[in-house]
Amino acid sequence: DAGTIFSNPAGMSRLAGTQASAGGSVIVPSAKFSDTGSTGALLQTAGGNGGDAGGAALVPNAFMTMELDPALHFGLGISVPFGLQTDYDPTWIGRFQAIKSKIETINLNPSLAYRVNDRLSIGAGLNYQHISGELSSAVNYSAAIYQATSGGTVMPNLEGVSTIKGSDAAWGYNFGALFNVTPDTRLGVAYRSQMKYTLKGTIDFSDVPALLSASPLLANGDVILPISLPDSFSVSGFHQMNSGWDVMADASWTGWSALKELKIDRSSGANVLTVPENWKDTWRVSAGANYHYNEQWLARVGVAFDQSPVPNAYRTARIPDSDRTWLSFGGQYKPSKAGRLDFAY
């Protein structure tokens, strides 16, 4: 369908006339912390385990393709390729590392596909991607006062919250190719470029005590956050076994090693925070099948293994990721020749 704009723009060459699709995925992650011997922050109440930091999120998409002539197709896609949110109870034991972490992207992707011959099609697109982010954590004012006075002033349980917000936009590209090995078998390759951002925004500190009000470290102001989101490459295959069954497979590489650290500086150049991330490149492999029950109904099933980019030694509360195995099933209903409804879990 028209969603091929995102996965492999060369696939538009298989779509006749003008086609459009729109949809959304509801994602409900879960992230729970278990304390197995943490050391509480200096001069602060320890706090709880933070509850479930995950939460439901709707990820929408919309695509449209147009057949300009039998060999040339144009497409436009709007999607959300990257995003995350974790939100812990504000009094949890790890609040000085993270409370809320939120990143949202939206991607605009105009594309062209060209049918070279009956066996080979190619496609490419531009990507304009906007990103916004919010990071909050507690600030231990009691420890700051204690250290500033060389231990001479002890004022327990003084804390506030620092909130960092920022946004930026960047350009990228993607391209792909589709090769018909036989009338029943085709192979695809696709690449999406890295996106390099420099988020600009603000940092705000709440409830700063009078003893620290003159500290430049706790002043509200402008900040910048350079960050790169990864490039990716995929190889996929499709085979129609018979009139009832199709099988598919995919292997995708993602260059998460581009994310080496989370570094936030003031506009003056003074560093606010640097957290080493040292993420690693990952692979995702998947396989699936379609069963055509009749002209109106189709059933789908699939499985995937997805590596985590987060090394165990560098896992943080903001993105507590791990390897995943995905199981999915769904289907498609065609109420008419012009429309269809896809659903999956």
pLDDT at residue number 114: 99
Q: What is the mean pLDDT of residues 193-221?
A: 98
- Domain span including residue 86: 4-228+264-280
- Residue the block writes with tokens 């903001």: 318
> Is residue 259 one of the residues assigned to a domain?
no
Q: How confident is the model at residue 151 (pLDDT cuts 50, 70, 90)?
A: very high
Phi and psi for 199 in degrees, rounded to 5?
Answer: -70, 135
Share of the chain above pLDDT 90, in %: 98
Q: What is the mean pLDDT of residues 209-227?
A: 97
**Averaged pLDDT of the chain:** 97
Asked whether the beta carbons of 25 and 58 are under 8 A apart, the reply is yes
CA angle 65, 232, 316 (to 5 degrees): 125
Q: CA–CA separation, 260 vs 227, rounded Å? A: 9
Long-range contacts of 97-101 (CB under 8 A, 24+ apart): 97/137, 97/316, 97/317, 97/318, 98/135, 98/136, 98/137, 98/316, 98/317, 98/318, 99/136, 99/137, 99/138, 99/161, 100/134, 100/135, 100/136, 101/134, 101/135, 101/136, 101/318, 101/319
> Is residue 143 one of the residues assigned to a domain?
yes
> Is residue 61 one of the residues assigned to a domain?
yes
Q: How confident is the model at residue 195 (pLDDT cuts 50, 70, 90)?
A: very high
> Is residue 128 one of the residues assigned to a domain?
yes
Q: What is the pTM of this model?
A: 0.95
> Is residue 288 one of the residues assigned to a domain?
no
CATH number at residue 217: 2.40.160.60
152-165 burial, b at 16+ Cβ within 10 Å, e below that, comes to eeeeeebbbbbbbb
Q: How confident is the model at residue 270 (pLDDT cuts 50, 70, 90)?
A: very high
Number of structural domains in the chain: 1
**The two three-digit tokens of residue 261, written as one number:** 């650290």
Asked whether the beta carbons of 15 and 1 are under 8 A apart, the reply is yes
Q: CA–CA separation, 326 vs 345, rounded Å? A: 10
Q: How confident is the model at residue 160 (pLDDT cuts 50, 70, 90)?
A: very high
pLDDT tens column, 6-57: 999 999 999 999 999 999 999 999 999 999 989 999 999 999 999 999 989 9
> Is residue 204 one of the residues assigned to a domain?
yes
Asked whether the beta carbons of 164 and 201 are under 8 A apart, the reply is yes
194-233 burial, b at 16+ Cβ within 10 Å, e below that, comes to ebebebebebebeebbeebeeeeebeeeebbbebbbbbbe
Q: What is the mean pLDDT of residues 273-298?
A: 98
Q: What is the mean pLDDT of residues 55-76?
A: 97
Residue type, 253: W
> Is residue 135 one of the residues assigned to a domain?
yes
> Is residue 196 one of the residues assigned to a domain?
yes
Asked whether the beta carbons of 235 and 188 are under 8 A apart, the reply is yes
